[in-house]
Amino acid sequence: MLKTIKNICGQDIGYLKSPLVYSVVEGALLAAPYIVLAFLLPGLLLAGQPDNEFWVSYGLIALFFALRIFVTRKSYSGGMQAGYRAGAAIRLNMGEHLRKLPMGFFSQRDTGELVNRLFQNVGMVEMMIGHFMSQAVSNLAAPLALLAFLLITAPFLSGVMLLTLVAAFPLFYVLIKMVDKDCDKRVQMLDVANSRILEYLHGITVFKAFNQTGMGFTRLARALAELRDFSIRFELKSFAASLVYSAVLEMGFVVLIYAGWQMIAGGMMEPYGLLIFLILALRFYRPLHRFAENAALTRGSFSGAKAIHQVFEEKEIPAPEKRPVELSNFEIRFDRVSFGYKGKKVLHDFSFVAPEKTMTALVGPSGSGKSTVTKLIARFWDVDQGAVKIGGVDARDLPPEILLGNMSMVFQDVYLFNDTILNNIRIGNPEASLEEVRKVAREALCHDFIEAFPKGYQTVIGEGGATLSGGEKQRIAIARAMLKNAPIVLLDEATASLDPENDRLIQKAVERLVKSKNLIVIAHRLHTIVKAGQIIVLEDGRITQKGDHEELIKQNGWYAQMWQEQKSRVALRPKRNHA
């Protein structure tokens, strides 16, 4: 357990020791007054009047109670600080680790799973470290301290007491194993439920349109119902096991009374001696009930730590050797690249050169590998065979800050943060002034609609840019790329779903963006790439045609057929009546 916690929190977990040490002391102080009481009661019961020894013992008991209050406070505050410190460390470490993982990791997982790891599972670890572990240690230390004293003063009855523990241990083991297994399953079910909830929230407009809100959305309803039913079964099972364990412990106390009575009958013990032993035995058994509960909660929370650890076990993209690297140019070269994921080959022996300060367009049917090419350039994945080179240097040998620092990316699905328009554009250059942001916004033809908002550049646009149209989001993304002013631009057009006016504005903004840049564009409308230096046609991960617009039209292949088809669609559009 500690090894897993160390792996997910980082190497320095010394801060976890202090609250556990305080918990041991807290448990010992919980037992100490009863041990003093064992010495005090015989004299009090026999003499009937308090003497000097009584007042000394009374003072010790009061002192132990006062010390316990102090130590409990230290244990609680230290545990809470350790728990939240560990939680913060896990989230930061996981964020850094996720940043270095290949895109294949994210394509194979639902967002809800990762949200669950970062929040609910980390919260489980915080509770485990901050509460459950410390309480389990304290509730174990108290009976151990009492047991050590009782073994010396009353070995026979202590042996009987130990036998009841031996009888209860298998039930405790079953409880822990059951919690361990079922909590792992529950983490998986929470992943599914979180994914369905996020899916529902992101698609709420569609669900409303098709009257699939609330219980009508079957996938969400089923996931929540399954989680509810499993949670109820889990609680009932663990309660039953815990109840039987507690009953066996309670029966142990009954056995102690019988054994003590037999010792009194045989003249082996005085009645007051049995009374004192039974008082201490009650104090012995009570923490063991809570220990089982805290141990089960600790083990259940550990399922969150195990789920987090699985993320940390995912292999990062290998980091290049730390050596000086300078790019003399920004030519992009694919040298016999093959790549695939999920068992499917996406690119086959793929080669091309995109000279710097030129425009290379990628076209082809859906699923032909166009987006994969741009993601390999940015090293979101590593190639299976061959090499992707930037300025003659293998992308795998370039530090991320150099590789990505020289690239701007405008993807088809533009993501904007729930922040101001100003800060969303500043992602391209966090140090940019307001005037520099305004300048690129004018260049990207989004200044006018930004100023139309009451708060202008200080307008908060909602998560994902919910308050903006698709064309407006695309132009803000272009402004962001302009502000970065990187020599390589990767552009995935989104013009297929835009109205003609937005299409025109975006094309004009793109022309301004790519001046003197090496542009790799995934084109959906062929009229936007007629001036491209080279056009590459992909089909099933292979290059089937390559050339400029005029050359490809003459070849009468996929490109020429698609050109004619798109021209026909434009010709069939109804003309606007300007009368």
pLDDT in tens, the chain (579 residues): 778 888 888 767 788 888 999 999 999 999 998 888 888 777 666 666 666 777 787 888 899 999 999 999 999 999 999 999 999 999 999 998 998 888 778 877 788 888 889 898 999 999 999 889 999 999 999 999 999 999 998 899 998 888 888 888 888 888 888 888 888 898 999 988 888 888 888 777 777 766 666 655 788 888 899 999 999 998 888 888 888 888 888 888 888 899 989 999 888 888 888 888 888 888 888 888 888 888 888 888 889 999 999 999 988 888 777 666 778 899 999 999 999 887 788 999 999 999 998 999 999 998 898 989 999 999 988 999 999 999 999 999 888 888 888 999 888 778 888 889 999 999 999 999 999 999 999 988 899 999 999 999 999 987 667 778 878 888 898 899 889 989 999 988 764 455 667 677 777 777 777 777 899 999 888 888 888 889 999 999 999 999 999 999 998 899 999 999 888 866 555 555 543
**What 3-state DSSP class applies to 34?**
helix
CB atoms within 10 A of CB 241: 20
What is the structure's pLDDT at 38? Answer: 83
Sheet containing strand 518-522, strands side by side: 407-410, 488-492, 518-522, 359-363, 534-539, 542-547
Q: Where are the domains of the chain?
A: 1-313, 332-572
What is the structure's pLDDT at 141? Answer: 93
CB atoms within 10 A of CB 321: 8
C-beta separation of 426 from 483 below 8 A: yes
**What 3-state DSSP class applies to 351?**
strand
C-beta separation of 347 from 541 below 8 A: yes
Residue type, 411: F
The closest of 461, 453, 451, 455 to 421, measured between CA atoms, is 461
Structure tokens at 252: 């142990």
d(CA 102, CA 395): 14
The model's pTM is: 0.76
What is the structure's pLDDT at 385? Answer: 94
Buried b (16+ CB within 10 A) or exposed e, 488-513: bbbbbbbbeebeeebbebbeebbeeb
Residue type, 487: P
**CATH node for 1-313:** 1.20.1560.10
**CATH node for 332-572:** 3.40.50.300
Structure tokens at 578: 């300007």
131 DSSP assignment: I
132 DSSP assignment: I
**For residue 543, what are the β-bridge partners?**
538
d(CA 360, CA 538): 13
Q: 12 vs 80, 89, 100, 301, 348, CA distance in Å? A: 17, 10, 22, 21, 46
What is the structure's pLDDT at 74? Answer: 92
What is the structure's pLDDT at 578? Answer: 44
d(CA 571, CA 321): 56
d(CA 473, CA 444): 11
Pairing type for strands 518-522 and 488-492 reads parallel
**What 3-state DSSP class applies to 313?**
coil
d(CA 443, CA 511): 10
For residue 279, the Cα-to-chain-centroid distance in whole angstroms is: 49
